[in-house]
Structure 1
Amino acid sequence: MERLAGKVMLLSGWPRIALAVFAGAIGALALPPFGVFATLFLSFTLLVWLVDGSTGNPGGGIASRLRSAFAIGWLFGFGYFVANLWWLGNALLVDAEEFAWAIPLAVLGVPAYLAIFYGLATALARAFWSDGVGRLAALGAAFGVAEWLRSFVLTGFPWNAVGYGAMPVPLMMQSDAVLGIFGVSALAVFVFSAPALLGTVKGKVIGLTAAVLLAAAHVGFGAWRLNVADEKLTVGDGKKTTIRIVQPLIDQAQKLDDTNRAEIFEEHLRLTSAPLTSGETRPDIVVWPETSVPFILTENPDALARIAEVLEEGQVLVTGAVRSENAGAGVAPRYYNSIYVIDSDGQIISAADKVHLVPYGEYVPYESVLASLGITEAIAMPGGFTAASSRSLLTLPGGALLYPLICYEAIFPNEIGNDVERTSALLNVTNDGWFGATPGPYQHFQQARLRAVENGLFLIRGANTGISAVIDPFGRVVRGLGYNQKGVIDATISSAKVANWSNNSRQWYFWLVVALMSVIAVASRLSFKSHAN
C-alpha cells in the first residue's frame, strides 16, 4: 500500500487531474439509488494521498501548497457533483425549446460552483496537514465546515452532503438525530479516509482503531435506538390519524399544458375517492402533492365545491397549490407556492407559503443587481414565485399542527425552527416529475426522510411522480409508493413523537466535533513540525 500511495502522491499533469475527478465521481455511488457506501473509502483514500502530494511549486511556500490542495479538492468535488447531479439537466428538457441552452450550466456549472466548497475544505485541511492521523482529522473538520457553509451561502444548496452516503438505511441513520447531517459528514470523512493510513508510516494503529470504533458506534447506536424505538415514542398523546397520500403520476409536460387542467384536477379527485387499501380505515386527511391544483383555487369556487363533494364528512384535503395575492392597483399580482388545508365543506381553513424558493427555478436571486449590469435576457422569468417572509404551520380541525416543507425545503435541516416541537408531523409535498427517471427523486427522498429522524416526528411525503411515503420518526418507511407509479397510500400515524435532541443541540454537537478534530489536527501539525526541525 505504501508503494501505491507513493505513486498517487507523485502523479502530475493529466493523470493527476483525471484521478482526482475519478475519486470524486466514484463516491457518488454511495448515494441513492445505489447506496454503495463502501465507494467512499476509495474516494477519500485517494483524496488524502493526492493532497499528500500537493506540494506546490518548489520555493512557492504555503500559498503554493494551498493552491495546489484547493485544485485537488475542486477537481474531486467537480467529479462528485457531476456524477450525482447530472440529472439537473433533465428539468430543462421538459421545455427544451426554451431552456435547452442552459443544460451545460446545470450539468457542469452547478457542480463547478459547489466544488469550490470542497476545494476550500482541502486547502484549509492542507494548512494543518501532517504525516499521521492528524491530517484525517483536519480533512474531516474542514469538510464538515464546508458542508455547513454549503447550506446557506448564496441561498444554499446542501444537496448530497457526504454524510448522506454514510446513512443508506435506518440502522445507519440514527446518528443524524444527535449530530445532524454536518456532524455526521465530518466524522464520515475521517472514517472514509482511514485506509489512507495503510499507505503511510505513522498513525496506522491509532487512526484505524479510531475509525473502526467510530463506525462501530455509528452502527451500534443505530441498532440500540431501533431496538428501543417503541419505548421511546413517549412524548405526546399518541392520537392516531389515518392518512391517504395521492400519487397521481402526472407528466410534467402535461401539467404545463393549460388544456389539461380539468382532466388533471379530476384525476386527483378520482384517486381521492378510490377504495381503501391495506385494510386501513377511512382516511382523516388526504394529501395531494406540490402544485396539484392546476389553477388558482380562490378564483374557482366550482373547484372548491367539487372537493367538498368528494370529501366525506370530517375529512380534510391538504394540497399543494398556487396562491395569488393582489399587490394593488396597476401592480401585477404576487404568486406563492403554497399548501392549503380544505375541509369537507370546501372551505380553506389554513394555508402556508413556501419560504425557501428554488433559485432560477422559482425566482431569480439578485435580480436587481443582474439587471443593473445589463444582464436582462438571462434573468427574464415571467410568472415567478414570491417567498413567504416566515414559515406558517398548518392547522387541522381539532387544533393539530403540521410542519410544512414544500419541495426542496426538506433538504435544509437548519431551517426547521423550534416551533416544530409543537407539531404532530412533518409534511413534505413535492413534484419531482421535473427530474424524470434519474437518481434525483431517490436522493430527494433520502434527504427528506432524515428530517424525520432529526425531529423525532412522522413524515408525510406526497410526490406527484414519487417517491411518496409515510416515514416513522426513525426513518423507516411505514408505507410507500415507488417512483413512476400511480396510486394511493393509506397509512396510520401517531402524534406521539420521539424525545429527541433539538436542532440547537445538534448544531452545538456539530461544532464540538469540529473543535475536537481541529485540536487533533493542530496538535499533530505541531508535533510534525517539531520532528521535522
Structure 2
Amino acid sequence: MSKKNIFFIYTFLLLLGSLSSFSLPPYNLIFVNFITYSLFLYLIVLFKEKKAKISNFFFLGFAFGYGYFASSLYWVSHSLTFDKQLTFLIPVAILGLPILLAIFYGAAVIAIHSLIKKDYIFLLIFSISLSIFEYLRGILFTGFSWNLISYSWSFSLENIQVLKFIGTYTFNFFSILIFSIYFNSLWPVQFKKILINSAFLFIVLISNYLFGKIIIKNTEFNQYNDIKIKIVQPNIDIAKTWGTENENRNLISLINLSKVNKDEKTLIVWPEGMIQQTNPKDLYKYKEYFNKNFSKNHLVVVGVTNPSISGNKINFYNSLVVLNNNAEVVNVYNKIKLVPFGEFIPFENLLAKWGLKKITFGYSSFSSGAERKEIKLFNNLSFLPLLCYEIIYSGDLKRDSKDYNFIINVSEDGWFGDSIGPHQHLTQAVFRAVEQGVPIVRSTNKGMSAYISPNGKIINSLELNKSGFIDLKLFFLKGKTLFSLLENYIFYFTIFLSIIFVIALRKFNKNG
C-alpha cells in the first residue's frame, strides 16, 4: 500500500470520526454510526490484508478518534475566552485535547492487530478492545469519560432503560458491536450478509426498544410531598461572578428568584460558584438577607469557594454547602473530581513559572476533597452532592455514601457559551438518573437546569441563557436498580465473559 493511499485513508478516517460526532446530542443523527464504525472496522481489516506496518494500525485508530473528539469537544476552548492571559491556549485546547483522547483509540486498534480477521469473531474482539480502552479513558490521568458513543442513544428514553441493568460502559460495548456490524459486507458488496446483518440488527433494536417501553410502563414511583424543591437559574454573566460587589448583587438576584412559602418545607438549589469571595464561615454577614426571605423551614444549597487552612498552607476547595435561614453552614461537600487546567494545574510548580493558571477565577489551584457522603435534610431525606462534571463518572458516584434519595448536581456551564457542551452535559445527567434509579436535581447558572426523573425523563428544564426557576416535588423509584448495586462490576463481568467466548470460538474454529 503506497504512502499516498495510506495518507488518503487516514484523512478519510478523520472525516468518518468527525461525522460520527453528529450522532451525539444535540444532533443525535445515530444512523451515521452504522456507516462510520463499519467503515472504520473494514479499513482495519483492509490494512491487515495489505500487510501494513504495525504503526499504521495505531494511526488508523488515532485518526478516527481524533476526528471524533475534535468535532465533538471543540467547545471546551470557549472557556479560555474569558481571560486574556489564556487566549493563546485556544489552539492547544482545540487541537491538543483530541490528541490525548485519540491515543486511546489508536491503542485499542494496535492492541488487537495480530487478531484481525474478516469474521464475526474479530467484530467481537474489536468491540471488546475499544470498550476497554474507552473505560480506561474514563479512569486514567484523572479520567475524562465524556462522549462515549453510547450517548448517541440519548434521543430515545426507551432505548436507554437498559442502563438500569448494565450501565453506560457495558451499553457502550454493545453499541460499538452493533454499529460495526456491516464491516464484512461493504467491499465487495455482499447483499446476503447485509440482509443477515440487518435482520440481526432489527431484532436487537426492536427488542431493546420494546423492553424499555415495558420498563417505563411498569415502573412504579412513590411521590414525596413533605418537601418542595426549587431549582434556580440566575443567568449571571460569568465575568460578573467574581468580586465582592458582584457577589452582593448576585445574591440579591438569587434570592429574588427564590420566593417561597415560609410555612412550607423547601430546599432551594442555586448553581455552582455563586459565592466566591466570602469564606463560608463568614456568610453570617448575609444573615439579614436570609432571615428576611427564608424561614426555619428552608435550606439553601449553593456552590462556593471554600478556603481551608492546613498548617502554613491555605487550600481552596470548590464546594457545595447547605445553608439555613441564618446563612449558617449546616453541611459541606468538597469536590473530589477536579477539571484539569479548569480547576487545577498539573505540575503547577513548573507550569506556573510559564504564567499558566487555572481557567476559573483566582490564581491558585483548587484542592481535591477527601470524601463524598450523602447529605441529610429535614431528618428523613438525603441527597448525593455532585459538582459540575462529577456527574459524568458512571459507576463512580457513591464513593463513601451509603444510601441517598436523590442527586443534586450544581454546575456552571456558562463557560461553554451557546455551544453543544451544555447539551452533552445534561445528557450525562440523564444517563446517571437511569443507572442509579434516582431523580436528579440540576442547577446551573446559564443553563441547562433540569429536573430528571428516575427513568431519565426530563420533567422540566430551563433553556440556555435565560433566568428562571423550577418548582417540583420529588418522586422516587420503588426499589433499586441492578446497576446501582453492582455498578461497573457488570462491565468487568461482561468483558470477561466475552473474552472467554472469543477464546472458545477461536479454539472451536481451529479444531474444526
**TM-score, with structure 1 as normaliser:** 0.87
Does structure 2 conserve the Cα–Cα contact (< 8 Å) formed by 1:130 and 1:528?
no
CA distance in 1, matches of 2:339, 2:100: 16
Does structure 1 conserve the Cα–Cα contact (< 8 Å) formed by 2:304 and 2:319?
yes
Kindly report which structure 2 residues correspond to 1:492-511, keeping only aligned pairs within 5 A, or say none.
492-503=473-484, 505-511=486-492
Does structure 1 conserve the Cα–Cα contact (< 8 Å) formed by 2:41 and 2:183?
yes
Does structure 1 conserve the Cα–Cα contact (< 8 Å) formed by 2:154 and 2:427?
no
Tell me what 2:235 maps to: 249
After superposition, what is the alpha-carbon deviation per residue over 1:108-160, rounded to whole angstroms, capped at 9, x for unaligned?
11111000111112223433222121222112111210111011111100000
Query: 1:389, CA displacement in angstroms?
Result: 1.2
After superposition, what is the alpha-carbon deviation per residue over 1:172-222, rounded to whole angstroms, capped at 9, x for unaligned?
211112111110111001111112233266966665444333323322221
Say yes or no: does 1:53 pair with 2:46: yes
Say yes or no: does 1:350 pair with 2:358: no
Letter in 2 for 1:262: N
Q: Select which of 96, 101, 106 maps to 2:88.
A: 101
Does structure 2 conserve the Cα–Cα contact (< 8 Å) formed by 1:283 and 1:490?
no
Tell me what 2:202 maps to: 212
Query: 1:229, CA displacement in angstroms?
Result: 1.6
Identity %: 25
CA distance in 2, matches of 1:267, 1:300: 17
SS in 1 for 2:353: coil
Tell me what 2:174 maps to: 187
Does structure 1 conserve the Cα–Cα contact (< 8 Å) formed by 2:69 and 2:101?
yes
Say yes or no: does 1:453 pair with 2:428: no
SS in 2 for 1:304: helix
Query: 1:508, CA displacement in angstroms?
Result: 3.0
Aligned-CA RMSD value: 2.8
CA distance in 2, matches of 1:241, 1:431: 26
SS in 1 for 2:111: helix
SS in 2 for 1:55: helix
Does structure 2 conserve the Cα–Cα contact (< 8 Å) formed by 1:131 and 1:528?
no
Does structure 2 conserve the Cα–Cα contact (< 8 Å) formed by 1:341 and 1:350?
yes
Tell me what 1:436 maps to: 417
Kindly report which structure 2 residues correspond to 1:454-533, keeping only aligned pairs within 5 A, or say none.
454-503=435-484, 505-522=486-503
Say yes or no: does 1:76 pair with 2:64: yes
1:509–1:496 Cα change, 3 Å: closer
SS in 2 for 1:478: strand
1:206–1:528 Cα change, 3 Å: farther
CA distance in 1, matches of 2:214, 2:402: 24
**TM-score, with structure 2 as normaliser:** 0.91
Query: 1:15, CA displacement in angstroms?
Result: 2.0
Tell me what 2:28 maps to: 35
CA distance in 2, matches of 1:409, 1:418: 12
Kindly report which structure 2 residues correspond to 1:317-332, keeping only aligned pairs within 5 A, or say none.
317-328=300-311, 331-332=312-313
Single out whichever of 450-459 and 518-527 deviates more from structure 2. Answer: 518-527
Query: 1:269, CA displacement in angstroms?
Result: 1.0
Tell me what 1:4 maps to: none
Structure 2, unpaired ranges of 5+: none
Query: 1:519, CA displacement in angstroms?
Result: 4.2
Does structure 1 conserve the Cα–Cα contact (< 8 Å) formed by 2:15 and 2:64?
yes
Say yes or no: does 1:377 pair with 2:359: no
Q: Select which of 272, 279, 286 maps to 1:290.
A: 272
Tell me what 1:89 maps to: 77
Say yes or no: does 1:18 pair with 2:8: no
CA distance in 2, matches of 1:489, 1:135: 49
Number of residue pairs matched by the alignment: 504
Query: 1:70, CA displacement in angstroms?
Result: 1.5
Say yes or no: does 1:114 pair with 2:91: no
Q: Select which of 238, 260, 284 maps to 1:301.
A: 284
CA distance in 2, matches of 1:210, 1:34: 26
Letter in 1 for 2:247: R
Tell me what 2:123 maps to: 136
Does structure 2 conserve the Cα–Cα contact (< 8 Å) formed by 1:289 and 1:429?
yes
After superposition, what is the alpha-carbon deviation per residue over 1:55-80, rounded to whole angstroms, capped at 9, x for unaligned?
3885x7xxx3x422211110000000
